[in-house]
Structure 1
Amino acid sequence: MNERFYLYDDTEETKTRFVSFMGENQRFDLAIMYSDRYYGKAVVFDIQGSRFAILGQDDLDEPGYLEHAYQLSEEDASEMRDFLQEVIR
C-alpha cells in the first residue's frame, strides 16, 4: 500500500453557533462555524438542505451567490441574507 500524501492535517479550535428560524416559506436550520482558517469568513451549513458555503460580508453582497450555493429562491435567499448580515462578522 502506498503512503498517504497529506496536503494538510490540522486541528483547530472553532466557535459554532446553531440557529433555527422560520422564514415566510421555509424553516432555516443553520450551523455557523468560525475559525482562523478562512481569512475571517464563516462556514455556514444548511443542515436541512445538506449544503454549506464559506461566507463573508463580500459574499453576502454578491448577487445570486446564496441562491446558487444553497439552491434557494430569491425570496428565501433574501431572508437568509438578512439574517446572515446581522451575524457574520
Structure 2
Amino acid sequence: MNLFDKLYDDQENVKVRFVGFTTENVRYDFGIVYTNLFFGKPLVICMQTGRSTLLDPKDIEDLDYLRRIFRIDTLEEAADLADFFKTSLPHIPFETQYE
C-alpha cells in the first residue's frame, strides 16, 4: 500500500557558505545553501537556533519576518541582519519551478 505520493526527489551539487559575524550587540552564525530549487531562494540556517528559512530580496525587507523567524529581539538587530543579507544573498529573478 502506497502511503504517500512523492512530489520530488532531486539531487544537486550545491554551494554552501558558512559565515559568522558580530554587530554591536549580537553574534550571528549562519549556513547559507545556494540551490536551484525553491525558486532560486537560498536556504538560510541559523547555526545557533537551528531555525531556517528560504529568503529572497522581498523577505529581507520584512524586518518583522526576520525577527520572528530568527528570534531577534529588536528592529535594530533585524535591520542589521537585513543589511548583511542584502549584500550576501543573490538577487535571482522569480521563475516558477512548477509547470
Is 1:84 the equivalent of 2:72? no
Letter in 1 for 2:87: E
Q: TM-score, normalised by structure 2?
A: 0.79
Q: TM-score, normalised by structure 1?
A: 0.87
Q: Distance in 1 between matches of 2:22 and 2:84?
A: 11
Q: Distance in 2 between matches of 1:31 and 1:78?
A: 19
Is 1:25 the equivalent of 2:25? yes
Unmatched segments (≥5 aa) in structure 2: 91-99
State the match for 2:97 in structure 1. none
C-alpha RMSD over aligned residues? 1.4
Q: Distance in 1 between matches of 2:49 and 2:68?
A: 13
Letter in 2 for 1:32: I
How far is 1:71 from its partner?
A: 1.2
State the match for 1:43 in structure 2. 43
Identity %: 34
Query: How many residues matched?
Result: 88
Q: Distance in 2 between matches of 1:7 and 1:59?
A: 25
State the match for 1:75 in structure 2. 76
How far is 1:4 from its partner?
A: 5.3
Structure that is richer in strand per residue = 1
State the match for 1:11 in structure 2. 11
Letter in 2 for 1:50: G
How far is 1:23 from its partner?
A: 1.5
